[in-house]
Amino acid sequence: MQKKNHCPGRMTFPLTRREMLTTSANGFGLLALSALWSDRAYADSPPRPHFTPRAKNVIFCFMDGGVSHVDSFDPKPELDRRDGQTYRGNRNWLKSPWRFARHGQCGMPVSELFPHIAELADDLAVIRSMRADLPLHSTGVLLLHTGSNAAGRPSMGSWVTYGLGSENRNLPGFVVLNFDVVPCGGMENFSSGFLPASYQASIFRAQGTPIDNIVPGSRNSRVQRTLLDLLGQQDRRFAASLGASDAVESAIRNYELAYQMQSRVPDVLDLSRESRATQRLYGIDSTDAVQRQYGIQCLRARRLVESRVRFVEVNCPGLYNSNGTWDQHGGLKQGHERNAQVTDRAIAGLIRDLKSRGLFDDTLILWAGEFGRTPHAPSRDGRDHHPEGFSVWLAGGGIKGGTIYGATDEFGMHAVENVVTMHDLHATILHLLGLDHERLTYRFGGRDFRLTDVHGRVVGEIIA
Minimum CB separation of residue 437 from other proteins in Å reads: 9
Residues 295-354 that bind other proteins (CB under 8 A): 322-323
From the list 56, 21, 59, the residue with the least C-alpha distance to 261 is 21
C-beta of 87 vs 238, nearer to other proteins:
238
Residues 203-232 that bind other proteins (CB under 8 A): 208, 212-218, 220, 222-224, 226-227, 229-231
Span interacting with other proteins, options 4-12, 106-114, 178-186, 309-317, rule CB under 8 A: 178-186
Residue 279 interacting with other proteins (CB under 8 A): no
With a CB cutoff of 8 Å and minimum separation 6, the contacts of 313 are 59, 60, 62, 157, 174, 175, 176, 177, 190, 201
d(Cα 342, Cα 64) in Å, to the nearest integer? 13
Residue 196 interacting with other proteins (CB under 8 A): yes
C-beta of 71 vs 424, nearer to other proteins:
424
Residue 106 interacting with other proteins (CB under 8 A): no
Residues 13-42 that bind other proteins (CB under 8 A): 36-38
Of 31, 258, 271, 413, the one binding other proteins (CB under 8 A) is 258
Number of shown-chain residues binding other proteins (CB under 8 A)? 82
Of 112, 119, 235, 361, the one binding other proteins (CB under 8 A) is 235
The interface mask with other proteins, positions 119-158, x = CB under 8 A, is ---------------x-xxxx---------xxxx------
C-beta of 16 vs 418, nearer to other proteins:
418
C-beta of 11 vs 247, nearer to other proteins:
247
The DSSP secondary structure of 204-264, one letter per residue, reads: EESSSSSSTT-S-SSS-HHHHHHHHHHHHHHHHHHHHHTT--HHHHHHHHHHHHHHHHHHH
The DSSP secondary structure of 94-106, one letter per residue, reads: ---SS-EEEETTT
Of 23, 86, 234, 263, the one binding other proteins (CB under 8 A) is 234
d(Cα 370, Cα 144) in Å, to the nearest integer? 6
C-beta of 82 vs 137, nearer to other proteins:
137
How distant, in Å, are the alpha carbons of 3, 211, 258, 305 from that of 262?
Answer: 25, 10, 6, 19
From the list 141, 147, 142, 150, the residue with the least C-alpha distance to 159 is 147
Span interacting with other proteins, options 185-193, 268-276, 330-338, 376-384, rule CB under 8 A: 185-193
d(Cα 388, Cα 373) in Å, to the nearest integer? 9
Q: Taking CA 178 as the corner, what is the angle to CA 174 and CA 183, rounded to the nearest 5 degrees?
A: 100
- For the chain, helix, strand, coil in percent to 5 are 35, 15, 45
Of 254, 280, 379, 400, the one binding other proteins (CB under 8 A) is 254
Residues 414-443 that bind other proteins (CB under 8 A): 418-419, 436, 438-439, 443
Q: Taking CA 210 as the corner, what is the angle to CA 208 and CA 214, rounded to the nearest 5 degrees?
A: 105
